[in-house]
Amino acid sequence: MLILGIETSCDETAASVVKDGTKILSNVVSSSMRYHRKFGGVIPEIATRHHVENIDKVIERSLRKASLSIKEVDVIAVTQGPGLVGALLSGISCAKAMAYALGIPLIAVDHLKAHIYSSLMQEGMPSFPFIGLVISGGHTRLCLVKDFDDVVTIADTLDDAIGEAYDKVAKILGMGYPGGPLIDRLAKKGNPRAIKFTCRPLNGSLDFSFSGIKTAVLYHVKKHVDAQALKSTRLPIADIAASFQESALSVIVKNSLKAMEKHRIKTLVIGGGVSANSRFREMVKKESVSKDFKAYFPPLELCSDNASMVAGLAYRLYKKGIRSSLDITAN
Ligand code: KG4
Ligand code: ZN
């Protein structure tokens, strides 16, 4: 079965053809990031315009790369949300029009569930239930995955998402946008124990909060770092980056372990932009050996937003008899 996936929830205009849920025949991503960089964050109107102007070319490219004509596609899959509403609507409108014109089924997919699925496209499928962890620019969520269409949220962030915290800390440190990959790289040169930035798990709950640590970094920089030092990528900036990262990631690891313990589950499936982080991968791998659980990470090219995860998950939903109507709207 050939599924064409479309993803437009944020700044990436993406299309992909996936065969039978796991075989990626093409994975095309056109990002509008270069237009957002000077604002230090994604501007919804610019992202939406980029989708509208590029979606047809991205789809054509994905079909060409898969050596297919549109008539050979069996199902159209699209991200329904969560995401920026205008951005989502541009992909949804396109998907609906294609499904209607071609007379083939439409399947709407949840972006966060698709991020979790991205980890399962290369490695074999774990058995249900498992714990899913989404760490991205918009979300920090733990969930109990009982089936592809039965996912229960266990914990969320109460304020900033982890990726957002990375991006804001990078801004405070005078670095570029998006800050996650930059902090990941810089932190390797720093001492993670140099500064005590506390990011405690919340009492009695598995929820997350990252706005406090972001503010702590801001006050530390105001008090201890002069403007000249901010221009360098050497100490103490590297120490701040490493100390922030260590503390924030430790809470995510701890809460994931607690979620697995609580539900007596030995499988953690991770997805989202921050799952590309090298220190996070190291931490989880170490814990998985000492605590004897299996961790699934997406391949690096599927960590950030893409349409392969959308087409892949849609295949599983299709097999369960799920179809979407042509009057769906953005979530
Ligand atoms: O999943 P994603 O592409 O978009 C959303 O659905 O939000 O995630 C983007 C986020 C950004 O905040 C970016 O800074 C972060 O993922 N990110 C990273 C790394 N690569 C991307 N954060 C930490 N370390 C990285 N290596
Ligand atoms: Zn995403």
**DSSP code of 189?**
T
- Map tokens 């570029």 to a residue: 176
pLDDT of residue 232: 61
pLDDT of residue 75: 98
pLDDT of residue 40: 81
pLDDT tens-place values along the chain, 331 residues long: 999 999 999 999 999 999 999 999 999 999 999 999 888 889 999 999 999 999 999 999 999 999 999 999 999 999 999 999 999 999 999 999 999 999 999 999 999 999 999 999 987 789 999 999 999 999 999 999 999 999 999 999 999 999 999 999 999 999 988 999 999 999 999 999 999 998 876 777 899 999 999 999 999 999 888 766 666 655 589 999 999 999 999 999 999 999 999 999 999 999 999 999 999 999 999 999 999 999 999 999 999 999 999 999 999 999 999 999 999 999 9
The angle at the Cα of 83, spanning 107 to 103, to the nearest 5 degrees, equals: 20
Residue 233 has, within 13 A of its CA and on its CB side, a CA count of 11
Separation of CA 127 and ligand 2 centre (Å): 24
**DSSP code of 119?**
G
pLDDT of residue 235: 58
Give the Å distances, CA to CA, from 53 to 56, 78, 87, 330.
8, 17, 12, 19
Longest pairwise C-alpha distance within the chain: 63
Closest Cα to atom 14 of ligand 1:
180
What's the token pair of residue 193? 């124990």
Separation of CA 96 and ligand 1 centre (Å): 29
Judge if the beta carbon of residue 163 lies within 6 A of ligand 1: yes
Do 7 and 306 meet the contact criterion of CB atoms below 8 Å apart? yes
The Cα 173–Cα 218 span in angstroms is 8
Separation of CA 199 and ligand 2 centre (Å): 24
| Closest residue by Cα to residue 92 from 103, 105, 104, 76 | 76
Judge if the beta carbon of residue 7 lies within 6 A of ligand 1: no
Contacts of 101 by beta carbon, 8 Å cutoff, 6+ apart? none
Judge if the beta carbon of residue 273 lies within 6 A of ligand 1: yes
Judge if the beta carbon of residue 298 lies within 6 A of ligand 1: no
CA–centroid distance for 240 within its chain: 24
Separation of CA 303 and ligand 2 centre (Å): 8
Q: Which of 168, 279, 304 to mutate to test the pocket of ligand 1 (most atoms within 8 A of CB)?
A: 304
Judge if the beta carbon of residue 306 lies within 6 A of ligand 1: no
Separation of CA 7 and ligand 2 centre (Å): 9
* Cis ω before 82 (30° cut-off from 0): yes
pLDDT of residue 271: 98
Judge if the beta carbon of residue 138 lies within 6 A of ligand 1: yes
pLDDT of residue 124: 79
What's the token pair of residue 330? 């953005």
| Closest residue by Cα to residue 107 from 130, 85, 124, 91 | 91
| Closest residue by Cα to residue 252 from 161, 130, 167, 180 | 161
Do 104 and 120 meet the contact criterion of CB atoms below 8 Å apart? no
Query: What kind and span of H or E run contains 19?
Result: strand 12-19
Residue 325 buriedness (CB in 10 A; 0-12 / 13-18 / 19+): exposed
Separation of CA 113 and ligand 1 centre (Å): 16
Judge if the beta carbon of residue 83 lies within 6 A of ligand 1: no
Which ligand 1 atom sits closest to the C-alpha of 177?
A: 14
Q: Which of 166, 283, 308 to mutate to test the pocket of ligand 1 (most atoms within 8 A of CB)?
A: 166
Identify the nearest ligand to the CA of 164 by its number: 1
pLDDT of residue 231: 63
Separation of CA 93 and ligand 2 centre (Å): 20
The Cα 27–Cα 302 span in angstroms is 9
